[in-house]
Chains A and B, each alone.
Chain A
Amino acid sequence: MKKNKKVLVIGWDAADWKFLNPLIDAGQMPNLSKLINGGVIANLATLDPPLSPTLWTSIATGKRPYKHGIHGFTEAKKDGSGIRPIYSTNRKTKAIWNILGEHGLKTHVVGWWPSHPTEKINGTMVSNLYQRAPNNASEEWPMLKGTVSPQKQEALFADLRIRPQELTGNHILHFVPDAAKLDADNDPRIITIAKNIADCSTIHSAATYILENEDWDFVGVYYDAIDHFCHGFMKYHPPHRKHIPLKDYEMFNDVINSACRYHDMMLGRLTDLAGEDTTIMLISDHGFYPNDKRPKAIPKEPAGPAIEHSPFGIFVLNGPGVKKDQRISGASLLDVTPTLLSLYDLAIGKDMDGKVLVNAFEKKPEIESIESWDTVGNLSPTQHEDLAITDEEADAELKQLIELGYIADPGKDAAKAIEGTNNENNFNLARAYIDGGLLQEGIELLEELHKNKPDQVRYGLRLLYAYQGIGEIKKARTVFEELNEAQKKGSPEFDMIEGTLLLAEGRYKKALELFHKVESEAEDAQEINLRIAHAYFQLKDFKEAKNAANNEIGIDRENYSAYYMVGLCHKELMEYEQAVEAFYSCLGLLFHIPYVHFQLGETYFLMQKYDKAVEVLDTCLSLNPSFNVARKRLIDIYTNYLKQPEKAAKYKDVKQQNKKGTIHIVSGLPRSGTSLMMQMLEAGGAEIFTDNNRAPDDNNPKGYYEHEAIKNLQKNKAFIKDGVGKTMKVIAQLLQHLPNQYEYKIVFMHRDLLEVLSSQKKMLERDGKKKKSDAVPMNLFDQYERTLDTINKWCESSFNISIQYVNYIDILDNPFEQALAVKDFLGAELAVEKMISAVDKTLYREKSSKQ
């Protein structure tokens, strides 16, 4: 571990380069300028949901919310008497200050959200409730229990606080030069400005005291005022928008800039006190739209103001060994803690989701890793003093959150407030799961929320998009119809949602029509150009798609999806140089997207730049080891183009390493011959995974070979381990729910779709589930084609899947050849002659006209 290393981390909630850069260029933020010129900068990608308590905890732990346990602004009180602000006691993993403290480093933390009640650390901790003064000047301002650790310092830090009422006109005039024209004592906007100045000055006061008077190796200080100024005054920020009264605009249009200038002044003081040898990191958890993307109205729902947050915060690193005056790309707030640990030469927890930002350093740091810091040293992630916090104390921050609009006033009905809070936290957790790629876990929570609260459109919408994400288009359509029924029909918002659904359903022309309708009806429809681009792309009109995506970039230069779309269009148009440029622009904004690396690698491959292609494809695989197409391409390039078979072998070997066992699967659409294949395999000697619950009948006289557990594969995967070394039947629609830890060899049955539909119809008629008719349900034809297409793509991109397609009709025509091919594919000891004996041609009853 590196001793004598000083690191100061400064958090500016909601700071965004988009409104900082004009001030930097105008020379109005000299201290930030100095920091930037002597260090590296980046966009810091946020997480979803973009809620500050969860984000700052991810920053401090390097972990996603479902690993750290902070899911929202509030929580239910333990005694069930109501709700309170989220407490640090909910954090279930160590933060950077715990890890550093356990290594004997003097560590101090000021204002971090959430850090109340304070933890016992190897230094001073001042909580996020420290700065909140009562509204009424005559009210006393006692220190809440748990505000400062060690407690003996409470009185000292109490004196360092400043009340808004202590400020004078001189302070306010910096922000509102014409404030004298207003009734300053009663205008709520002036009161808000005074509160924000007082809040951040209080935090700054405590931070400067610690820097000057305590021994320290690490100081983390968090200022929330920029976020609060933005929520209150970004609407008045230039350029003026028509719906803002001109008088108000003229009065308050410099508030955001003034807040930034004041933060720059405070930054100057912090850096002076820290000294030249200190490494300084300045970060924000998300950005804030200062431009045309500012919403006109805030949704009246919990955490509604978060709609104003943009997906990129700021990152600045300056200090010994850090590159000078450079921009790095692909930084995420998850990378902060790993990078801090590497500054002290400490190992990175393998359970952390972030990475060390190695490109920030002149010399690439050597990175060690351990399984987890949670199993080293103190086993309890947080060390709290035994505090009895009264209800009055807990209510202080709650009041603030209500005033800021983050949460609705919970009212006096405790049970209702608790239910609302629990729902909200589960909703946030579901979003975090989805953001982390754990779609199924997110869907389970959303299904429950949507079932219990069908009137909450946002629950339903998230569920709809999640269903789309896993290819459950039919379920997505059902949710849409439910929501559309409950809401006003035909609103641009719902048209846009339906358009996105139509895209997923493959109805591209209809989607495009709907998007154009929205474009003409709602001028501020979010990402409408990007949606139009998607529709054109699917219709293979790549020029129009490119134009539409570029229009989106014209509105939002940080829309990484739009750059990706531009790249795809250039690639299709064989404009490879431009495609590469667009993909890099996308990755410069958000690095952790494997499919963008893949497309970039494919473009380099098409350009015959094989060295670049393997470099990029390798990054793709490091981000997602299951990205099978990338692996296949790497093997192809090393084998056939770079003539390095030993490197190709390395990628082939990895394929074998990560498996818990192999399972043989027979799959296909229902009535495509899956039972026949199961009979063949059983006859050949394969061990079948079935519970024999479904007895043979007229539809399948020789049995179904099913297992009840497989029907619940979406929800329960635990049984899969029992299938290792056996053969199980899984219908096509469930394949994508197979857990990744196993290797699957899939025999996939193909049959003429008309025969499949006809056979399904007859089966339902025989079972009395449908009336007899002549019409085959052709509406399913397209759906089945898409299902097969999705499965193809899933197999291609999955690392643990091998698949052998077998035509039902080929089995009937050439049973020996097909049985042999299946035996070879499975690599199993199967008696081919016995397999053939199971083929009963008399059961081929639904023949299409081709036969």
Chain B
Amino acid sequence: MSKSQLALKTKDGEVFEIPEGASLGLLALGYKGLMLWRQKRQELMLSQNEKKKESQNLDEEK
């Protein structure tokens, strides 16, 4: 499922921003909460890996 299909909106119609940390609240939102949390976790891991790589590259350059 794509991110846009999964988007969660608040009662005011605004897109709900998925927090970085895990929460019961997200699970309680059901499959969308679960999927979005998994995506967020994936993104975080990727970005952490990127940062790790960058700092490793910087270290190597030094």
B-contacting residues of A (Cβ < 8 Å)? 160, 162, 167-168, 170-171, 174, 197, 201, 204-209, 212, 262, 265-266, 268-269, 273
Contact = CB atoms under 8 A, between A and B. Distances in A.
A456 B22 CA distance: 49
A440 to B, nearest CB: 50
Nearest to A175: B24
A208 B31 contact: yes
A170 B27 contact: no
A162 B27 contact: yes
Nearest to A174: B24
Contacts of A197: 24, 27
A262 B31 CA distance: 15
Contact of B31 (A167, A168, A206, A265): A206
A298 to B, nearest CB: 29
Nearest to B5: A213
B34 interface: yes
Question: Which 4 residue pairs across A and B have the least CB separation, nearest first?
Answer: A208-B30, A265-B28, A205-B31, A168-B22
Interface in B25-57: 25, 27-32, 34
A207 B25 CA distance: 16
Size range of the interface on B? 10 to 19
Max chain B Cβ within 10 angstroms of own Cβ: one of A207, A208, A273: A208
Contacts of B31: 160, 205-206, 208-209, 212
29 contacts: A160-B31, A160-B34, A162-B27, A162-B34, A167-B22, A168-B21, A170-B22, A170-B23, A170-B24, A171-B23, A171-B24, A171-B27, A204-B27, A204-B28, A205-B31, A206-B31, A207-B30, A208-B30, A208-B31, A208-B32, A209-B30, A209-B31, A212-B30, A262-B24, A262-B28, A265-B24, A266-B30, A269-B28, A273-B30
Contacts of B22: 167-168, 170-171
Given A160-B34, A201-B34, A266 B28 contact: yes
A24 to B, nearest CB: 18
A656 B24 CA distance: 64
Interface in B9-30: 21-25, 27-30
B60 to A, nearest CB: 33
A205 B24 contact: no
Contacts of B24: 170-171, 174, 197, 262, 265
Contact of A269 (B21, B23, B30): B30
Nearest to B1: A159
A205 B21 contact: no
Given A162-B27, A209-B30, 6 more contacts: A160-B31, A162-B34, A171-B23, A206-B31, A209-B31, A269-B28
Contacts of A273: 30
Contact of A205 (B23, B25, B30): B30
A204 B30 contact: yes
Contacts of A162: 27, 34
A262 B29 CA distance: 11
A219 to B, nearest CB: 13
B30 A170 contact: no
Max chain A Cβ within 10 angstroms of own Cβ: one of B27, B29, B30, B32: B30
A207 to B, nearest CB: 7
B28 A205 contact: no
B28 to A, nearest CB: 4
A193 to B, nearest CB: 12
B22 to A, nearest CB: 4
Contacts of B27: 162, 171, 197, 201, 204
Nearest to A261: B24
Nearest to A258: B24
Nearest to A264: B28
A206 B27 CA distance: 12
B27 to A, nearest CB: 5
Contacts of B29: 208, 269
B12 to A, nearest CB: 14
A266 B25 CA distance: 9
Contacts of B32: 208, 212
Nearest to A166: B38
Nearest to A205: B31
Max chain A Cβ within 10 angstroms of own Cβ: one of B22, B23, B27, B34: B27
A607 B56 CA distance: 93
